[in-house]
Amino acid sequence: MMKTPNRTAATASAMVLALGATGAAQADVVNVFNWSDYITEEVLEQFTEETGIRVVYDVYDSNDTLEARLLAGATGFDVVVPTADFMQRQIAAGVYQPLNRDLLPNMEHMDPGLMAQAASFDPGNEHGTIYMWGTTGIGYNIDAIAERFGEDFEVDTWSLVFDPEMIAQVADCGVAFLDSATDMLPAAMNYLGLDPQSTDPADFEAAAELLESVRPHVRYFHNSQYISDLANGEICVAIGWSGDVFQAADRAEEADRGVNVWYSIPDEGAMQWFDMMAIPVDAPNTENAHAFINFIMRPDITAAITNYVWYANANASSWEMVDEEILTDPAIFPPQEVLDNLFTAVTYDGRTDRLITRLWTRVRTGQ
């Protein structure tokens, strides 16, 4: 699985330095705020070559960060990439403008089934189109797991991270959890046999208690650090996002130092999420925003991104250009029986959001 070298060139600072200062309202600029480790720089360069529009690109690694910026207003961003459940309540808060479909002819390439799933958060897909989608599962160091549980052990259960006795056996080689209440609490509820879409405070409390019971074995909570740590053997288990774990596997293979990483969607099921491209209502360059989104939806461009970041996309016309090994990997483009086992997020109202924020602080800090 050798991919393009020099992945680190795609980090925020490198791109911002290369591409200029943020927030400019000029005819030849588009200001993009996206997740870290989520694009190949070549795509941005190609966009500029073809359109003359310079890309000012900055990154975040949590929906909470993006949301805080959006709700504060006047972000200067033209394109942002919220996860669909967050986008739903941001739409309600008036943060986004409707997309102008006349400027998005490449919308025709999007898979109707996946777009319909996204439409449950944004009726008619009025404000967003799917950038990439994925799952929240378990990344692991193949050899460290085999050493501790035997060669035949399969990482197919959340027990590895949610059963105190099992996680205790990998604590020495390093376990990382996402610092994301909206990923972690539903995962814990699902493991407990509760409805992962529940908003019942008692269910959140049960999930928090489960997470607290394993927290002593967790080295850190973070949304992006685990990629390099899995890749260089600093940690051996991470609850993480599909493509990010595969990028870790890819980097590990490139480094060729005997670290082998893989990703599992456990049998109990996992969250399937959709990251959406959307345009803030006060975007300084609305036309360029549409040009950028339309460019990303070009099948060859979407395929190039998936081939680099190992996330599934919703662009049906791109799939014939996606590397065979990615397209046929059941943990990236899952077959129907795995899809049937996935659940989606629900959009939390303000009250639920405050509750989970409080519980999450308790889980992370122990108070």
Q: Which residues bind ligand N2P (CB under 6 A)?
A: 35-38, 83, 241, 244, 273, 275
Among 85, 237, 117, 95, residue whose Cα is nearest residue 170: 237
CB 242 within 8 A of CB 263: yes
Nearer to ligand N2P, 237 or 309 (CB): 309
According to DSSP, residue 172 is labeled G
CA torsion angle for 189, 195, 201, 203 (degrees, to 10)?
-40
**Shortest distance, CB of residue 275 to ligand N2P, whole angstroms?**
5
**Shortest distance, CB of residue 85 to ligand N2P, whole angstroms?**
10
46 backbone dihedrals φ, ψ, rounded to 5°: -65, -40
Nearer to ligand N2P, 140 or 241 (CB): 241
Nearer to ligand N2P, 241 or 360 (CB): 241
Output the six-digit token pair for 26.
């000029």
Nearer to ligand N2P, 33 or 241 (CB): 241
CB 239 within 8 A of CB 178: yes
Nearer to ligand N2P, 131 or 262 (CB): 131
Nearer to ligand N2P, 29 or 308 (CB): 308
**Shortest distance, CB of residue 242 to ligand N2P, whole angstroms?**
8
Output the six-digit token pair for 364.
């992370």
**Shortest distance, CB of residue 39 to ligand N2P, whole angstroms?**
9
Q: Give buried/exposed letters for 317-340 (b at 16+ CB in 10 A, else e).
A: bbbebbeeebbebebbbbeeebee
Q: Bridge partners of 275?
A: 83, 132
**Shortest distance, CB of residue 180 to ligand N2P, whole angstroms?**
8
**Shortest distance, CB of residue 42 to ligand N2P, whole angstroms?**
17
**What is the C-alpha to C-alpha distance for residues 64 and 346, in angstroms, rounded to an integer?**
15
Nearer to ligand N2P, 90 or 285 (CB): 90
**What is the C-alpha to C-alpha distance for residues 216 and 159, in angstroms, rounded to an integer?**
16
Residue closest to ligand N2P (Cβ): 35
**Shortest distance, CB of residue 234 to ligand N2P, whole angstroms?**
18
Nearer to ligand N2P, 42 or 282 (CB): 42
Cβ-in-10-Å burial (0-12, 13-18, 19+) of 124 comes to: exposed
Q: How many helices (H) and strands (E) does the chain have?
A: 17, 10
Start-to-end Cα distance in the chain = 43
**Shortest distance, CB of residue 270 to ligand N2P, whole angstroms?**
13
